[in-house]
Structures are given as structure tokens and as C-alpha cells.
Structure 1
Amino acid sequence: MNPYRLYLVTDDQQDLATLTHVVKEAVAGGVTMVQVREKQGDIRAFIDTALAVKKVLKDTGVALIINDRVDVALAVDAEGVHLGQSDMPAAMARHLIGPDKLLGLSIETEQQLQDAESLPIDYIGLSAIFATSTKTNIKKEWGIEGLAMAVKKSSFPTVAIGGINATNLGDIIATGVDGVALVSAICHADDPQQAARYFKGLLSAK
């Protein structure tokens, strides 16, 4: 099974009870990977959230990925970590987490895409495909053509993120991308399980 297919990124604006509810329902609906994100800089809160999500994911087969923080990933024994371009260098992160954990890297420019080929990572997150309210400091809006180019050029599995919803998902899938990362489309849905199931259905149909 492709673990990147339906990749949920949590919303760090949600309280812990809401966030864990969203994760539980989304996994029941077919989410294949969960990345916990904490942009507020509170490491204790990040660890508490990660441990709560890890408990929800126990025995589901869905990997827990920690955003940005290698120390938090190690502290909670997550399945992997996802780095941004301003985080710890990928080679250093790989040394710390070992060979068996997943290591993802956000790619924001064509130069970064090229540079990533020599790094000890497992997958890339291409950001942002479209402008989105959850990420305001984007360097490049890749669009469908840019995503298709990146999928062809990269030797790693590619996850698309940024402004993805039901209206553009068909075009995104057509690029041959390995997975889509969703935040608002699932986290802010009235019924996260139904939303996840809906997106999983669209992905499976292609």
C-alpha cells in the first residue's frame, strides 16, 4: 500500500480534544499518514499532542510523522519526521533518527528539488501547489504544470500540499503524484471521517 496517498496534516489551532477527534475520524475514513504540526513553539504542548495522536494511531498501521522537530519525533518514538528548508539539515536528521524512520522534506523551489536528489530522505512534500490560508509565506505556487514537472524530475515519492480540494484534486491526481496532503479539507470538515472517505474515493478512482 502507498502510505503517502492520503496524508493528513493536523491544524495546530485546534484544541487537543478536537484535534485527536479529527485524527481518529480521518483514519477511520481512510487517511494513510498523519503529520502532527505545532507552529507555536511550545515543545511541551507539541510532545503532549504527539503522544495523544500516537495513542489514537496505535494498531491502525498509520504512520505518525512529526513536523520540523527531530527532538520531538525521537521523544515520542514517531515513525518519522518532516523537515522544512529552515530546519535541521536532512543528513544530520537522518543520522539522529537512524535508517528505519521516515524522513520527508518540504520543497519550495526548483533548485531545492534538484538539491534533494542527493539527500538521505524518503519523500518530498511539494509546497504550495496553490495559495492557501494555512501557509502565508510561500515562495512559489507550483500549480498543476509545476507539480507534473516535479513528479517527473524527482526520484522520490512526491506529496502535493497547499490549497487542494475536491475541485482540483482530479487535475492533481492526473500528474501521477504519489499522495496529497490535506489540512483544512479534513480538519475543518463537519464530518472528518466522511471527508476523508470522500477524498479516498476520488484518489482510488484514478
Structure 2
Amino acid sequence: MNDLKKITGGIYLVIDPAWELSFTLPRLEQALKAGISTVQIWDHWLPDTSKEGYIEAITALAHEYEVPVFINHHWELLKNSHLDGVHFDAPPSHLPLIQKEIARPFLKGITCGNDLSTVHWATQQGFDYVSFCSMFPTSAADSCEIVQPATVIQARASTPLPIFVAGGISLGNIDSLIPCGIDGVALISGIMKSDDPFKTTIQFKNHFLNHESNAHS
């Protein structure tokens, strides 16, 4: 991808690099075919994994579908790869230095909790989206506080940035979050450990499409 694709919402798939590529790539391709909007490689590396090789495999496949790929935390990996952006877990104290070091345009996202100051900061810094974690208890987001839906509603009223939600989200509970004004949902096992990643991705997408249809009817 030569031009950075604007983040607007949709299904944001988080990849766990502790999974073998032989497991990940076929499932990722099914999700890409179903229309996920964004991919992130999570900061969960095994000691013997080649970060560069893993990143190259994921970005090559995602870019076939014109889907941007973020790296979690390790912004320095943007310098010599085809990654499109970095997802921060907290506001970095040296963002101008990071931008100078990367020396090319890149997309930026950040995790937010119940403290809306991070949302305000990201808006001022021209970030591309914010993501609230965790909406429900989950082992994959055990370092995140539980975010109250009221926080997301307040954020929607205070920022034009796309808002994603993450953490324990399923087809059974996503409808409770759509009225908060979210633009998308970030998923890991909900898609990657599904028996049918293509079908599951479509089902999640339909919740947003149905909400949009009802909003305009």
C-alpha cells in the first residue's frame, strides 16, 4: 500500500504473533475476504519468532486486500517494514521523536480506558482512531480495566475520531455496545478461533450494517 488508508471503523482484527503462521494466515485470509477493515499485530512475541519475517507475511497478505496493518507498541519496526501504523497502549512521552525516527507518514491509534484525557490527547495529536479496552472481562485483555459504556458515550460526544471497542466482545453482546456510538470492534479469538472466520466476520459486520440501516430509516 503506497497511500495510507483512512481508518473509519468496521471489524479490526488483532493477530497474536504467538500463533504459527500456518494457523494464522488461512484464517486471516478468510477474514480479509469477508471485509475486515484493519489488522494489528499484538505485542505477544515468542522469544524465537522472527518479527521481521512475521510482519512481512502478515502485511503482504493484508495489502493484497488493501487493508492497513498496525504494530502494537514496537514503533521502531515501522522503519524497515511495510507496516502502516502503530497502536500505542498509552500516550508516548516522545511522539515527535518517534515521528522523526520513522521518517514517513504512518497511522496512529491508542488504547483508552475510563480516563477520557487519553481521548482528548489523541484527538489533539491527530490520531486516526481510539480503542476502548476492555468492555468485558477477557484473558487476552487482562491488563485493561473494565470500561463503562457511559465512558464511551462521553467520548463519542467529545471526539470526531473513529471509536473502536475491544475485550470480551461476542456476537451475543455486541448489540449492547452499538448504541454507545462506536464505529467498530476489535477482535482476536472471536474471529481467529472461530470454526468459520469468514462467516463470523460477516456476522459481526452485519451488526453495524443493520444499525446504520435503522439509523437512516
TM-score normalised by the chain length of structure 1: 0.88
The amino acid that maps onto 2:65 is T
CA contact (8 A) 1:130 1:164 kept: yes
Structure 2 CA distance for partners of 1:114 and 1:3, relative to 1, 3 Å: closer
1:197 aligns with 2:197: no
Distance in 2 separating the partners of 1:89 and 1:38: 20
Q: Deviations over 1:90-113 (max 9, x none)?
A: 343333345732111111233323
Cα distance, 1:7 vs structure 2: 0.5
Give the CA deviation at 1:186.
Answer: 0.3
Partner deviation per Cα, 1:17-52 (whole Å, 9 max, x = no partner): 111122111111121111111323649622211110
Aligned partner of 1:149 in structure 2 is: 154
Is 1:4 paired with 2:27?
no
Unpaired runs of at least 5, structure 2? 1-5, 212-217
Question: Helix, strand or coil: the match of 1:76?
Answer: coil
For residue 167 of structure 1, the aligned residue among 144, 169, 172 is: 172
| Native 8 Å contact 1:91 1:119 kept in 2 | no
Task: Give me the identity figure in percent.
Answer: 22
CA shift, 1:171, in A, is 1.9
On the 8 A contact 1:161/1:180 being kept in 2, the answer is yes
Q: Contact (CA 8 Å) 1:90, 1:121: kept in 2 or not?
A: no
TM-score (norm 2): 0.84
Matched length: 205
Alpha-carbon deviation of 1:11?
A: 2.1
SS of 2:143's equivalent? coil
Task: Give the match for residue 179 of structure 1.
Answer: 184
Deviation for aligned residue 1:180: 0.8
Could you say which residue in structure 2 is the equivalent of 1:123? 129
SS at match of 1:134: helix
Partner of 2:61: 56
Distance 1:156 1:110 in 2: 13
> What corresponds to 1:188 in structure 2?
193
Contact 2:16 2:42 survives alignment (8 Å)? yes
Q: Is the CA contact (8 Å cut-off) linking 2:91 and 2:118 kept in structure 1?
A: no
Indicate if the aligned counterparts of 2:14 and 2:41 stay in contact, CA closer than 8 A: yes
C-alpha offsets along residues 36-93 of structure 1, whole Å, 9 cap, x if unaligned? 1132364962221111011212331111111111111222121111111175643433
Structure showing greater Rg? 2
Give the unaligned 5+ runs of structure 1.
none
Distance in 2 between residues matched to 1:99 and 1:173, nearest whole Å: 35
Structure 1's 46 and 117: CA in aligned 2 closer, same or farther, altered over 3 A? same
* Aligned 8 A contact 1:2 1:178 in 2: no
Q: Residues 165 and 113 (structure 1 numbering): CA distance in 2 closer, same or farther, change over 3 Å?
A: same
Aligned residues of 2:11 and 2:185 also touching (Cα < 8 A): yes
SS for the counterpart of 1:75 is coil
